Structure 1
Amino acid sequence: MAARANPFPSLMSENPPQLRARLAELLDALGCGLIERDTAIRVTLLTALAAEHVLLIGPPGTAKSELARRLHLAFRDAAYFERLLTRFSVPEELFGPLSIAALERDRYERQTAGFLPTASIAFIDEVFKANSAILNALLTLLNEREFDNGAHRVATPLITVVGATNDVPEDEIVAAFYDRFLVRMELLADLRAHLGAQDIYVSDRRWRKLVKLLKTAALTDGRDRVTVWDVWLAQFCTAQRPEQQQAVAQWYATRLGTWRALDPERMQRVIAAFEAQLELEVNAADLNYDAAGHLSLDDAINDAKGGAQAPRMTFMRTRRYGDTHIGARVAQVQQLIDAIDGYVLDLDATLREVATEVAAHLWLARDFAATATRNLEQTRANVLTLRARAQDVRDGFSALPRLAADDEVTPAPIAA
């Protein structure tokens, strides 16, 4: 398939600050009077700018049709088409009636003027109630922007289709059609409870389209690169089912500040391994040889009740370590502490970025900056707790009993 031309050449050629200012004003106008639909407005407009399609999922009364009609107003001179489908709908309702004149000339063609093949912005309500004949025709129209009219395949001016449904059917027949909608948004007054981690399949084609969407977000926001904050939009593109959208959003939120090389979860495992090794070395014992090389009897120990000392028949003593061993252990833990300090500096820089770049991001939900800040501050507090544990381990290794003379034995690295 040949690459589609940019549907907004004049828009994308504007000066980035001017473009961003225009889009910000447009978003404010589109969202005026809509309650709790800020994110839906932003993501729907961005999807249209990327020349992709969006599926709005939710019960009646969640402003799905109003979102589509307002989107149409954002595009000057763009033809608009709207239709509610039922299981009894016929292709003529979407693609136009058969041309009587063409039939008289033995041609099977439709009069498409005023119907979907001539629209730039379209809203199709209850889209999954269409029969297979309609769905098959829509597949080509949505993906190729072309329509088979009789013996000819003609190009269409279609920019985006906003589909709406109360529920996503399980039928495998509609799976290919469902995949044509890059963005899928669930519009519910009460969000479903967060689900645990689950396997979510994303096709290669969808990954490529997601990259294009993120690039569009960056360009229209006045930037020349995609940032980690743009990836917030992935929740609307990667979930197979509406309920999985919250799982993806939670995955993203819990990993804010953890995309760098030092992962707090791995940090936790490393420190736990050091703590376990320190406990082993503190409790280790050796045979108690004296200076002449003879075993020496350890003569006394307090009894279990803290009473008078009683003889203990043992030739064991607490293990002692050479300076080389202790120095190596301290250096290993100090290396981890230094990495943690660098990670905290990165978190601080990211928090400053949230306060400036993210708060002014054109396409992110207005409350996202507060959510990101809260999550990053919690991550920072958790990391500082791990740092304190690492310091205790370092001090513990430094306080190990020492040999009178260094045996120059270097310990093996600790595996986490």
Structure 2
Amino acid sequence: MGTTSFRHLWLGQLLANSGDVFYIVGLMAIIHEQTGSAMYLAVVPFIITVAKFSSGFIAPLLLDQYRLKSLLVFSQLGKTLILFTMQLGTIFFSWNLIIIFFLVFCISFFDGWATPARNAMLPRLVQKEELVKANSFVSTLDQTVQLGGWASGGILVTLIGGNHVIWLTLCLFVLSTFYMQLLRDDAEQIVNKDSVLSKWESLKEGWRYIWKVPSIRSISFIYVLEYFASAVWIAAILYVYVDEILGKDQAWWGYINATFFLGLVIGGLFAVKFARVVDSHLPYVIIISSFGICIGTFTVGLNSSPIAALFLSALCGFLEQVKSISLQTSLQRAASIHQLPKIYAAQGALLSLVFAVSSVTFGFLTELYSVSFSFIVAALLLFSSGIYSTIKKKLLSS
């Protein structure tokens, strides 16, 4: 796991992910300062989701034409140049929200194919027996950035202002691009420079793998159930939960988020420490964690104790991370290194759409019935995931 290229990959992604968080924190601080509108703030994550879905949908066309390293470098370089353009615009022109939102879309669009390219490249850079440890390590870094990035970004905004935080992000993006350029991928990659496949066939290829390969189809269906259920943890639902069920102020929304991310980090560290055990029992880990998250989510919905809510949040985060790492490893072993890029691209587009629909669905259910009802529905989805995982146990170990 200690290859030079693997170190360059995780260092580059660590810098890029940190920059992504910092620039969003800085940008939202500036938008709030300029407009004072919550609606404009809500537009930012919506634009990011739409951009990543659009990017993931057309990613197969790029994967046909370019090597994974080239896509990672080009993606990060594109984000860097667009962010630099945004900053130059703020120097010479006044803030124009339409232009800013367009540039945010462009940055997220470039980011949309970076994640599938990274996930597909990872099995090329480590030994097969080290996949669980590598996935766990990278996932732990991702969650650590999420856990600490928003808090440290908020502190930086307070100390130096949103605009300077974006300049800091620009520096992180430049360093990330440098590390991506240092990557060395010796695995042979089929690149269709002569457009052997039609564009439509290329777009369908990843989806075809997901539909026709039983193990990949099973893993993807589990992901769909998981992502749909995970929308119960979005801010809109937790705000209501904290207010109506716990009877606390909104600071407790932050506490619950923090403990959930803390659980994710601990889950990643656990998977690193016990990588061999997890690796040798992947189907059982997926099944047990599915039912565990189901019980945790169901209990959260009926619980009115703030302390218990924090504990359950951390537990769900822990189990979610272990399960995610296990599913990731199962997918990487179920597909060849040539199939993975397009599978990840199709899966990323699918899950972005599922999460967007589920967010609206749970918001509607919470409004129509209650926040407890939403958690119970999420628990039923997770229970279905556990049952399905049990039925497809043999496919998950292939």
| TM-score normalised according to structure 2 size | 0.24
User: Which structure: greater helix fraction?
Assistant: 2
Higher alpha-carbon Rg: 1
User: Which structure: greater strand fraction?
Assistant: 1
| TM-score normalised according to structure 1 size | 0.23
